[in-house]
Each structure stands twice: as structure tokens, then as C-alpha cells.
Amino acid sequence: MKVASLMLVSFCCVCLMLVGCSTTSSASSPENTAMSQTVADKDAKMAWWREAKFGMFIHWGIYAVPAGEWKGKDVRGPGEWIQTRGRIPGDQYDQLAKQFNPVDFNADQWASIAQAAGVKYIVITSKHHDGFCMFDTHATNFNVVAATPWHQDPLAQLDAACLLHGIRFCTYYSIMDWHTPDQSPHRPSSTAPEFSPTNMVPGKNDAYVAYMKAQLGELITGYHPSLIWFDGGWVHGWTAADAQTIYDYIQSCDPSIIVNNRLLYGVGDYGTPEQHIPNGGEQGDWETCMTINETWGYMSRDKDFKSAGTLITNLIKCVSGGGNYLLNIGPDGLGRIPEPEVQRLLAIGAWLKVNGDAIYGTTGSPFKSALPFGYATQKPGKIFLEITDWPTDGILRVPLSNVVIRAYLLTNPNSSLQVSPLLSTDGGGTQLVLPANAPDPVASVVVLEISGDPQPL
């Protein structure tokens, strides 16, 4: 149900007083988000995220019920976009809440799968573009506890399960909202509306920002997310002042919370390339978010799953470029993670169990250009070479001028590899003699122990 604006503002004020967060808007410019925190403060805040490298994205909501189909017809586009892509009026779409009864949901099972996959943090949708809230919010009845026959709070359960399994709990929150009275559809229609991009209703920015603060306050105080992942900031009429106000509000509630850059206008702590991995990475902190098949939210007909080998290589490429990999799953309407997704997650976890030292807590490649045999990551005193193209002649040529103290495979750390310097007439660098066959069919890791900082050629 929609909440009257005056009641909403009144509730928000009460909520803000209860959570003890500052309601004062910052006068600082969005481009100077980091001005309120020192470099040391940001480094401390980002430390766990920079160590983690691998996260799980979860898109789950009432859009999992139609699963990409409306009135017997396939709707093109991502599963979570079915309301706007299917031109479904709000009063019809809202009825999906009455059908959402995920009796097979098991938070501990989800967290166990994530842990087995080597995931260090989970980001789950608290509210997607459709405006439906997957947590127990008092700001609207359009939520999983009040509006569904299930009457449970999956975010609370998953938060508790993540704590038990040593995984950071984080939440996604959409700025664009197809349900709020404070935004209007792109093409209004009583029979076939098109919602995206919505327009802020003139004079309603303050009311909607108050609504966001109320819900974000609930999330922060009730679920303690380590990170809030915003999306949908392309709403017409969303302003730089709105973005900065929300960022400052979150920091006033809990300055340890990381915020991505999708509040827009230069506000946020890190970048979020989507569905692609920048060659060589990006400047600063960044994270590629990517689907495991073709869509974010569950669609029953989407069987185009990426192979485990592709997903492992994607993770390596992100980390080698200095970034993180946020891999999405889309549970179905009953609360089940599709089995093909589980299989791939466990395959990634099996690779990380052996090779995780080359991923977790590393920084990006020290080499200035792409390596012909694969990728590289590093830690103080060590360079990890993730070899995806095993040399047929058994010789690995590395463009590195450092003296290599020792080299070995992560699969066999007690056995040193033969190392010798390459002559300048051969281009210089270091040469390693490898076994005839790669230990891993996707990516085998060679560790180089060196003295001093890396000196790539």
C-alpha cells in the first residue's frame, strides 16, 4: 500500500530520532564526498572489502513469481524488470505479493553455499525498482512481511546466517521506485505504463529522501550492513544534493558503512562497472557486478549459464586489475537457488580452496601490460602468476627483472621450480621450467618469491 506523504514524513522524523542519525543536509559538494573523511579513514573503512575480492549478489523479489512470463507470454529483458518491460499496471503487479510464498527458503543453506563458494560478502536486494521491500519495514506495507502469505523477513534470517558463516552482510537499495507516489512513470498509462526512467514528482524530492532515510535507518540499525549498494539513480529529477544528503545520512548513522557510486554525481566510495571487466582495471576501488547467466532476477527460461571456467577466469581478471568480482544469483519464487548456479559456485570454491592465496588480500598485477600466459596478482614479497594458457614448451617467460628467491606451484608448494634469468638478447626477464601438464584445467598458479618491490620490464 502507498503511504500518504504527510504520514510518511512524520514517520521518517520519528524513525530518524530513534536511530540517532543526523538529519542535517551537508553543504559540501558531491564531488568532494571524501572530504569528510581522511585518506586513513577511508583506507580503514575499505580494508575488509579490498581484502575480500569475491562477493555474491542476490536479486530476489516478487518478480521471481512470474519468472519472466506474464499472462502466458514471455517478457523480454531481465526478470526483475518485468513490470516495466511487460507494461504491467501497478494494481496488477502488486497482486504478485499475495503469491509470493517461498517455503523452501533456507538462509543457512544460502550462506553455506556462499561460504563453500569462497564468497566473503553478500549483497541482497532490500528494495528493487518495483518498490517491493524484502525486509520488515514500517515505512510501507508493500513488503515481504506485511503483504505476502509467507510473513517472514528473509534479510533478517540471512543477516544472522552470514554472521554464523563469517560472511559480510550487505544490502542493495534502488533509488528508482515504481511504487512510490513521489515518482511518476516515464509513460503513464492505466493499462500499459512504462516506468523507467521515472520522474521525481515536482516538489516531492524532500518527501522521497525522507522515505529513503526512514528505510535506510531501519536497515542500518536492524541489519547492520557493511555496505549499501545503490542503483537506479537515473531517475529524472534526482539531484546532486539528494545524493549527498543520503551519503551523509548513512555516514552519520555508521561511518564504517561502504557506499557504492550509484548515488551518482561523484558521490560514493567505489566504482561499479556492470557486466564487463575493464581491461587492466580502473583507477581507485572498483567492483564488476555480473550475472551468472543472462539475467539478474530469476527467469525460468534463462538457461544460458556461464561455465565455471569462465567465472573463475572472470574472478582472476577482476582481481588482477585491482578490483572485486560481485557474481549474481537469482533464486526462484520458492526460495531455491537454481542447481546450475549452485554447481558453478561450488566449482569456484573448489578452485579457491587451492588457489585462494593468489586472490584474497592481493593487489593488482605489477606488470605494465597484459601477459601472454594469463594474469598476475601480488602481495609483499610475492607475485602470483595465474596461468590460463599453459606453455606447450614447458617454459614460462616472465617480464620481471627481480632476482627470484624461489618459485613453486600453489598445488605443490614444497617443490621448487627451476628458475633462470633470460639474456638481454632474448628480451630479458625470468624463465621458469614448468611441468608438462597444467595442474588445473582453468588456471594454475605459480608463486614467485622476490626481494624488494616488483621490477617489471
* Phi, psi for 450 (deg, rounded to 5): -130, 165
H or E element: which one contains 420? Answer: strand 418-421
Residues 309 and 387 both lie in one domain: no
Distance CA 333, CA 73 (A): 18
> Residues 10, 139: contact at Cβ < 8 Å?
no
Q: DSSP secondary-structure letter at 358?
A: G
* CA-based radius of gyration for the chain: 24
Distance CA 283, CA 367 (A): 15
> Residues 173, 127: contact at Cβ < 8 Å?
yes
Distance of CA 448 to the CA centre of its chain: 31
Residues contacting 213, CB < 8 A, separation 6+? 12, 15, 16, 21, 23, 246, 249
Work out the angle between the directed axes of helices 5-19 and 205-223 (0-180°, nearest 10): 40
Residues 90 and 236 both lie in one domain: yes
Residues 341 and 400 both lie in one domain: no
What is the per-residue pLDDT across 284-300, written as a single tens digit (0 to 9) for each? 999 999 999 999 999 99
Q: Is 366 domain-assigned?
A: no
How many domains does the chain fold into? 2
Supply 229's cell numbers.
Answer: 549498494
Q: Where are the beta strands (DSSP E) in 319-373?
A: 324-329
Residues 312 and 408 both lie in one domain: no
Q: Is 23 domain-assigned?
A: yes
Domain region containing 435: 374-450
Averaged over successive runs of 10 residues, the pLDDT of the chain (457 residues) comes to: 34 40 44 64 97 98 98 97 98 98 98 98 98 98 98 98 98 98 98 98 98 98 98 98 98 98 98 97 97 98 98 98 98 98 98 98 96 98 98 96 96 96 79 96 98 93
Residues 61 and 154 both lie in one domain: yes
Q: Sign of dihedral through CA atoms 279, 280, 284, 286?
A: positive
Distance CA 395, CA 139 (A): 63
Residues 46 and 89 both lie in one domain: yes
Distance CA 82, CA 323 (A): 31
Q: Is 18 domain-assigned?
A: yes
* Phi, psi for 392 (deg, rounded to 5): -70, -25
Residue 212: which CATH number? 3.20.20.80
Residues 411 and 310 both lie in one domain: no
Q: Is 363 domain-assigned?
A: no
Supply 118's cell numbers.
Answer: 569462497
| Domain boundary, last residue among 333, 358, 383 | 358
pLDDT at residue number 427 = 74
Q: Is 364 domain-assigned?
A: no
Residue 420: CB atoms within 10 A of its CB come to 11
pLDDT at residue number 15 = 41
pLDDT at residue number 63 = 98
| Domain boundary, last residue among 358, 387, 418 | 358
User: 307 exposed, middle or buried (CB, 10 Å; 0-12, 13-18, 19+)?
Assistant: exposed
> Residues 87, 75: contact at Cβ < 8 Å?
no
Residues 89 and 229 both lie in one domain: yes
Residues 347 and 387 both lie in one domain: no
Q: Is 229 domain-assigned?
A: yes
What is the per-residue pLDDT across 427-449, written as a single tens digit (0 to 9) for each? 789 999 999 999 999 999 999 99
Residues 298 and 380 both lie in one domain: no
> Residues 66, 82: contact at Cβ < 8 Å?
yes
Q: Is 434 domain-assigned?
A: yes
pLDDT at residue number 194 = 98
Q: Is 456 domain-assigned?
A: no
The amino acid at 205:
N
Residues 54 and 93 both lie in one domain: yes
Residues 313 and 384 both lie in one domain: no
